[in-house]
């Protein structure tokens, strides 16, 4: 049943009265559980009523109710094909996990585990024991602690080392991270008093020295993860900051632990900050490290113990599934198998593999009558890391025809599984860098079906 947008007065009232009851409409939804059918019917009727009251047409009620019921039955969150070329895509769940990490999380979820139980001693243990030795071995730190994300790690370190005292930060490092969270706000929540030094583009060691006082709790250095200041700039090195004799909290952001990866050359090294003597070095588990969401803290024993015993540590603790996955990822690094981490594999993907995958997508699409070609384009690391790095390589470009790129993208997002690509100059680009071989074929078939 549809009512024209020009309906007024009695006609609109008749159309509203003609809407079926929830019970009537839900009874027509065959094959759908009763509770789900009732919810879908209620929502569809509410949409139709609003459309009629606003003088708009509404879709067929039975069809709309079926759509709503099917949408409810789909899992959420759900698997998405990422053809954007953005490796650590924050909106798409950041880093895909290695197979071993997926298996470890599944095993931890499927039953009981020794999460906080010491099997050797037969008594309560610490969940940190599963990852602390791995972190200290990989970073050279004396001690380590893992919390639920890197922003939590910075908050905990600031509260534990500078709560009730001053925390000194360069004005050039008062950055805003994802979700509009700003360093000054994080510092304020820690209970520390923010003390700014230097300017937005140049801060010298003397600027820090000039404000050191008994009220100084710590110095905070923050990596400009998702942007760079270039040109007339200056900042003290981590070694210079640590030489001042005040605890240094170094937030290096993306967690670049891998050695011998050229694409990571511009990222600050965790081991360097630890060697310089930073009290706490914090970094993410789900960015360039390629693991689950986590905030890793490595540093001096005394500083880490202060963080460990702070009340916020309980509120920020990592859950058992993320812990199991993180431990598996760290073992890959320890065992010299970092190349098995998907994020690192995508960063270092070779021209031959990318072209083979792009050509396969083109061939599958042209076989369906679609117009597609292989061109050069640039992807990104994403996740607030390596903002200047352009990952240039072959991609499959698809002509959306009369349908248009926006409408084609909407169809693909509504598919099963949903597919997200990127649009450039009216063409849909499918970047093979963020697709496996199987996913590339699935992506091409999805686009072909959407165009048909």
The band of 14, judged by pLDDT with boundaries at 50, 70 and 90, is confident
Of the candidate ranges 22-26, 83-87, 178-182, 286-290, the one whose mean pLDDT is the lowest: 178-182
Q: How far apart are CA 429 and CA 405, in angstroms?
A: 10
Per-residue pLDDT reduced to its tens digit, 101-132: 999 999 999 999 999 999 999 999 999 999 99
The 8-class DSSP code of residue 302 comes to H
Backbone angles phi, psi at 377, to 5 degrees: -150, 170
Fold of the domain spanning 81-91+345-451:
3.90.1150
End-to-end CA distance of the chain: 28
Q: How far apart are CA 282 and CA 159, in angstroms?
A: 14
Residues 6+ apart with CB under 8 A from 74: 416
Q: How far apart are CA 285 and CA 292, in angstroms?
A: 6
Classify the phi-psi angles of 203: left when phi > 0, otherwise alpha if psi is within -120 to 50, otherwise beta. beta
What's the pLDDT score for residue 179? 61
Q: How far apart are CA 141 and CA 131, in angstroms?
A: 13
The band of 260, judged by pLDDT with boundaries at 50, 70 and 90, is confident
The 8-class DSSP code of residue 178 comes to G
What's the pLDDT score for residue 178? 63
Q: What mean pLDDT comes out for the span 373-384?
A: 89
Q: Do 193 and 169 meet the contact criterion of CB atoms below 8 Å apart? A: no
CB-based contacts of 72-76 (< 8 A; 24+ apart in sequence): 72/36, 72/39, 72/40, 73/36, 74/416
What's the pLDDT score for residue 267? 86
Average pLDDT over the chain, rounded to an integer: 92
CATH fit for domain 99-340, picks 3.40.50.300, 3.10.450.50, 3.40.640.10, 3.20.20.20 = 3.40.640.10
Query: Which among 376, 374, 285, 392 has a CA at the least distance from the CA of 329?
Result: 285
Give me the percent of the chain exceeding a pLDDT of 70.
96
What's the pLDDT score for residue 15? 86
Per-residue pLDDT reduced to its tens digit, 129-146: 999 999 999 999 999 999
Where is 445: in which H helix or E strand? Answer: helix 437-451
Q: How far apart are CA 19 and CA 6, in angstroms?
A: 18
Per-residue pLDDT reduced to its tens digit, 193-217: 999 999 989 999 999 999 999 999 9
Where is 218: in which H helix or E strand? Answer: strand 216-222
Q: How far apart are CA 263 and CA 381, in angstroms?
A: 9
Per-residue pLDDT reduced to its tens digit, 171-189: 998 888 766 678 889 889 9
Query: Which among 133, 152, 149 has a CA at the least distance from the CA of 327?
Result: 133
Domain assignments of the chain as residue spans, ordered by start: 9-73, 81-91+345-451, 99-340
Flag whether pLDDT at 1 surpasses 80.
no
What's the pLDDT score for residue 13? 85
Q: What mean pLDDT comes out for the span 362-375?
A: 96
What's the pLDDT score for residue 7? 42
> Where would I find the H helices in 86-245?
99-110, 132-139, 150-162, 183-190, 205-211, 238-242
The band of 4, judged by pLDDT with boundaries at 50, 70 and 90, is very low
Burial of 34 (0-12, 13-18, 19+ CB in 10 A): exposed
Q: How far apart are CA 322 and CA 9, in angstroms?
A: 59
Q: How far apart are CA 102 and CA 32, in angstroms?
A: 32
Query: Which among 286, 319, 317 has a CA at the least distance from the CA of 385?
Result: 286
Other beta carbons within 10 Å of 229: 14
The 8-class DSSP code of residue 262 comes to G
Q: How far apart are CA 283 and CA 361, in angstroms?
A: 37
- Give the CB-side neighbour count of residue 394, counting CA atoms within 13 A: 17
Q: What mean pLDDT comes out for the span 364-383?
A: 93
Partners of 144 in beta bridges: 298
Model confidence pTM above 0.85: yes
Q: How far apart are CA 376 and CA 196, in angstroms?
A: 44
What's the pLDDT score for residue 226? 65
Give yes or no for a cis peptide into 229 (omega within 30° of 0): no
């Amino acid at each position: 049943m549809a009512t024209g947008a020009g309906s007024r007065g009695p006609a609109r009232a008749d159309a509203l009265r003609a809407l079926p009851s929830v019970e009537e409409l839900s009874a027509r939804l065959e094959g759908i559980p009763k509770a789900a059918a009732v919810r879908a019917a209620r929502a569809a009727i509410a949409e139709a009523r609003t459309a009629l009251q606003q003088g708009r047409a509404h879709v067929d009620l039975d069809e709309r109710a079926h759509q709503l019921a099917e949408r409810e039955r789909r899992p959420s969150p759900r698997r998405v094909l990422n053809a954007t070329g953005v490796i650590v895509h924050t909106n798409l769940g950041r880093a895909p996990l290695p197979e071993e990490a997926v298996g470890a999380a599944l095993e931890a979820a499927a039953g009981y585990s020794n999460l906080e139980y010491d099997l050797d001693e037969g008594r309560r243990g610490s969940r940190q024991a599963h990852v602390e030795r791995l972190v200290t071995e990989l970073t050279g730190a004396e001690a380590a602690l893992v919390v639920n994300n890197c922003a939590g790690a910075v908050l905990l370190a600031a509260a534990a080392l500078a709560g009730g005292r001053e925390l000194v930060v360069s004005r050039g490092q008062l950055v805003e991270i994802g979700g509009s969270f700003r360093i000054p706000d994080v510092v304020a929540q820690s209970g520390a008093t923010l003390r700014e030094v230097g300017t937005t583009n140049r801060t010298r060691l003397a600027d820090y020295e000039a404000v050191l006082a008994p009220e100084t709790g710590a110095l905070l250095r923050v990596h400009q993860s998702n942007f760079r200041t270039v040109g007339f700039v200056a900042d003290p090195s981590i070694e210079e900051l640590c030489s001042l004799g005040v605890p240094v909290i170094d937030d290096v952001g993306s967690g670049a632990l891998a050695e011998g990866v050229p694409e990571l050359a511009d990222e600050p090294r965790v081991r360097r900050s630890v060697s310089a003597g930073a009290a706490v070095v914090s970094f993410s588990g789900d960015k360039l490290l390629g693991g689950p969401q986590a905030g890793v803290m490595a540093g001096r024993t005394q500083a880490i113990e202060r963080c460990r015993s702070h009340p916020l540590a309980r509120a920020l603790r990592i859950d058992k599934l993320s812990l199991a996955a993180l431990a598996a990822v760290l073992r890959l690094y320890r065992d010299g198998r970092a190349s098995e981490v998907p994020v690192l594999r995508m960063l270092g993907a070779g021209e031959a593999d990318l072209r083979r995958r792009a050509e396969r997508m083109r061939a599958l699409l042209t076989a369906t009558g679609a117009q597609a070609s292989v061109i050069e384009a640039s992807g990104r690391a994403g996740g607030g890391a390596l903002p200047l790095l352009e990952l240039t390589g072959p991609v499959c470009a698809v002509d959306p025809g009369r349908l248009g790129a926006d409408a084609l993208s909407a169809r693909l997002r509504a598919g099963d599984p949903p597919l997200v690509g990127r649009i450039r100059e009216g063409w849909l680009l499918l970047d093979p860098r963020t697709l496996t071989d199987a996913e590339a074929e699935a992506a091409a078939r999805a686009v072909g079906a959407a165009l048909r």
